[in-house]
Amino acid sequence: MANRNVITTQVAIMGAGPAGLMLSHLLAKAGIESTVIELRSRQEISETVRAGILEHGSVNLLVDSGVSDRVLRDGDRHDGIELRFDGESHRIDFKELVGESVWLYPQTDVFIDLAARREADGGDVRYGVTDTSLHDLEGTPKVWFTDAEGVEYELQADFVAGADGSRSQARSAIPENRRHRFVHEYPFAWFGILAEAPRSSDELIYANSANGFALISQRTETVQRMYFQCDPNEDVNNWSDDRIWETFRGRVNGNGFELKEGPVIDKTVLKFRSSVLAPMRHGKLFLAGDAAHTVPPTGAKGLNLALNDVKVLFEGLDSFYQTGHTGLLDGYSDRALDRVWKTQQFSYWMTSMLHTPAGADDFARARQLGELNSVVSSRHGRAYLAEAYTGWPGSR
């Protein structure tokens, strides 16, 4: 302790993913100081393949707060998706149903934009730190860490934001008897690939079949992102390109539709679960994003939900520094959880409606087709999906 260098700031932020960096950016714009610490290197985060869909509210937050307008130039606006089952595609027309769109703009690019903006604005962001620990969260919070050069620090702050992802250290600093964690496990995972191939379709295809789920997404003119439902213990080394394409064909091709295939340049098994920690606060520590909750990937809500947390948390912190009142900050957890649980429902629903559990009996299969038909054949069904997918209006 004697040798620790002391730094003081107003908000200590654990995690330099999109949530942590966006919070730091919004605070800086309001004249509030923060220091961000992150275990991974900037390069490692810039190279991790992540999901790709931004709600219109997330796009507005990036553009209106001045992070970057690259999403509008380099991203693709999508006005709908296709649900494909029983060999037929059914379009969910977002624009016509709810007047909104989403943007295909990968999370990795959101990180790159935010990291560049924080750097240009002289933000204090320290990547590659080790040995982090949190102290005195109910009094004067302190975060200990060792920086990438091996120098030990004590970061003193008014508040700590835990935006350090699903394996959050900030979360584990909350005593067990002061938190409740809701968890739901799924009996499947996603096999994700990047392939060198042209686009197969103008819009994303969410496909259900008796063989399981598949999602046809996109990245560029020449590289595509796709996923298929797999066993959580699947080993990517057992999957040749031929076997991968045969699996996709068995889930999406048919009735004149054929996927465009090409060399697979990246493959990963993505495990997931639904989880929520409540409350999202302990003393001076506020959790945001995956540190507080995770959703299954169907519908790509993780990043969007994290950005909503950060917006709500920023409003609470800003109000405290402007007025000295803690009312909005005290309401953070309840306000954030309102959208978290709606999003949990949507992500669970999309996942259960589109995936096929191993060993599903004929009743389960026929009921699932009934559910899909009840959505696509009803304007109300399609509109629920469209509103949730493109993002509900802002938090209460």
Reference 337, options 270, 374, 288; nearest CA is 288
Minimum CB separation of residue 341 from ligand DHB in Å reads: 19
Strand 102-104 to strand 76-78: parallel, antiparallel, or no bridges (unpaired)? antiparallel
Q: CB nearer to ligand DHB: give 171 or 225.
A: 225
18 interacts with ligand DHB by CB under 6 A: no
The residue type of 219 is: R
Q: For ligand DHB, what does the binding mask look like between residues 181 and 210, x meaning CB under 6 A?
A: -----------------------x------
Instruction: Note the Cα 151 to chain centre separation in Å.
Output: 32
Q: Which of 305, 317, 309 shows the shortest CA–CA distance to 287?
A: 309
Pairwise CA distance, residues 266 & 54, whole Å: 22
- CB nearer ligand DHB, residue 170 or residue 300: 300
Distance between CA atoms of residues 19 and 307, nearest Å: 6
Residue 75 binds ligand DHB (CB under 6 A): no
Q: Closest approach of Cβ 136 to ligand DHB, in Å?
A: 39
Smallest distance, Å, CB 53 to ligand DHB? Answer: 5
Give the Cβ contact number of residue 29 at 10 Å. 13
Nearest Cα to 304, choosing from 140, 33, 110, 142?
A: 110
What is the spatial distance between Cα 202 and Cα 218, in angstroms, rounded to a whole number?
9
State which residue, 125 or 204, has the beta carbon closest to ligand DHB: 204
Which residue of 217, 224, 229, 356 would you call a contact of ligand DHB, by CB under 6 A? Answer: 217
Is 83 or 278 the residue whose CB approaches ligand DHB more closely? 83
Identify whether 321 is a catalytic site residue: no
DSSP secondary-structure letter at 198?
Answer: -
Q: List the catalytic residue out of 127, 153, 206, 332.
A: 206
Write the binding mask 219 to 248 for ligand DHB: x where contact by CB under 6 A, - elsewhere.
Answer: ------x-----------------------
Choice among 25, 282, 301, 355 that is catalytic: 301
Catalytic residue check, 105:
no
Find the catalytic residue in 105, 186, 227, 389.
Answer: 389
Q: Any catalytic annotation for residue 301?
A: yes
- Token pair in block for residue 169: 């250290």
Among residues 52, 75, 123, 165, the one that binds ligand DHB under rule CB under 6 A: 52
* 59 lies in the site for ligand DHB, by CB under 6 A: no
Residue-by-residue DSSP string for 129-164: -EEEEEE-TTSS-EEEEE-TTS-EEEEE-SEEEE--
| Catalytic status, residue 232 | no
Instruction: Identify whether 384 is a catalytic site residue.
Output: no
Name the maximum alpha-carbon separation found in the chain: 72
Chosen residue from 75, 123, 297, 391 binding ligand DHB by CB under 6 A: 297
Strand partners of residue 154: 6, 144
Q: Does 141 interact with ligand DHB (rule: CB under 6 A)?
A: no
Q: Which of 20, 123, 299, 316 is the binder for ligand DHB (CB under 6 A)?
A: 299
Nearest distance from C-beta of residue 314 to ligand DHB, angstroms: 26
Of the candidates 25, 78, 284, 355, the residue annotated as catalytic is 78
User: Please, how many CA atoms are within 13 Å of residue 176, restricted to the half-sphere of its CB?
Assistant: 0
Interacting residues with ligand DHB between 300 and 319 (CB under 6 A): 300
Instruction: Determine contact, residues 22/310, Cβ cutoff 8 Å.
Output: yes
Nearest to residue 346, comparing CAs of 375, 369, 314? 375
Catalytic residues: 78, 206, 297, 301, 389
- Interface residues with ligand DHB (CB under 6 A) are 51-53, 204, 215, 217, 225, 297-300
